[in-house]
Amino acid sequence: MPYPAGHRDEVKGRIVNSARRLFNRYGFEQVSLDQIMAGAGLTRGGFYSYFVSKSDLYAEVLRCFFTDPNWKSCWEGVEVDLRAVDAAPRVVRAYLSRQHFENVEDSCPMVALPADVSRSGARARSAFESVFAAMVSVLERSVRRNRRNRRIVAQAIAALCVGGMIVARAMENRAVADALRDACRSVAFELGGWRKTRTRRRKARVKASR
């Protein structure tokens, strides 16, 4: 009996999601194909029907919500609409949020895997670069027009988000890590020319009108 339409894409997605969680948690070298396939509810024998190698799979894992429309974040309470006019402030808040900080397995791979990428082949580095460039493009749209060279500003903001989360996760002291995330968010908003109190004031006006 033939498989239903979409079966192959569904299975491939399960493999990618399993690998993302395991790579994010343990790193590329420490995770075996058996573990990845077991996490997807499959056996190792089917792996090579979808990927040439573990490195090939790794390049797929590096994609995230900036480049993959089917990737769904599991950060509770964090919503990012990349089509929104004010997408950039939302991206910064989501990226440096407590939910993203704590949910290692569902992290954007730019946070969890940069050391692995630097030691990997050209395809993995190219995938990482594509995700970062996509993030920069989203941020650039919302940088205030009176800022000089909006793309440079967007690149700096993206680096603050990714680098800030990497350093925060390396901290032993949670209070220090939280303060670092807050500092990166504050500087990113200042660079972008975004008002940090806009959301709070809007909520206040809604409550006052009730």
pLDDT tens, residue by residue, 72-100: 555 555 567 777 777 889 889 989 999 88
pLDDT at residue 153, as a whole number: 94
User: Crossing angle, helix 87-95 and helix 174-192, to 10 degrees?
Assistant: 170
Q: Which of 140, 138, 83 is nearest to 108 (CA)?
A: 138
Residue 185 CB neighbours (<10 A): 20
Q: What's the pLDDT at 106?
A: 82
- Write down the pLDDT at residue 81: 74
Radius of gyration from C-alpha coordinates of the chain: 19
Average of pLDDT values for 125-137? 91
How sure is the predictor about 177, in pLDDT bands with cuts at 50, 70 and 90? very high
pLDDT the model gives residue 3: 62
Residue ranges per structural domain of the chain? 7-61, 87-203
CB 118 within 8 A of CB 97: no
Q: What is the pLDDT, as a whole number, of residue 202?
A: 41
Which fold, 87-203?
A: Tetracycline Repressor; domain 2 (1.10.357)
Does residue 46 sit in helix, strand or coil? helix
Task: Judge whether 7-61 and 87-203 match in fold.
Answer: no
pLDDT per position as a tens digit, 135-174: 999 899 889 876 678 999 999 999 999 999 999 999 999 9
Residue 96: CB atoms within 10 Å: 24
Query: Residue 111: how many CB atoms within 10 A of its CB?
Result: 21
User: What integer pLDDT is reported at residue 206 of this predicted model?
Assistant: 37
pTM of the model as a whole: 0.80
Percent of the chain with pLDDT over 70: 83
Q: What is the pLDDT of residue 2?
A: 55
Number of neighbouring beta carbons within 10 Å of residue 48: 11
| Domain boundaries 7-61, CATH class | mainly alpha
Whether residue 208 is predicted with pLDDT greater than 70 in this model: the reply is no
Identify which of 101, 98, 105 has the alpha carbon closest to the alpha carbon of residue 77: 98
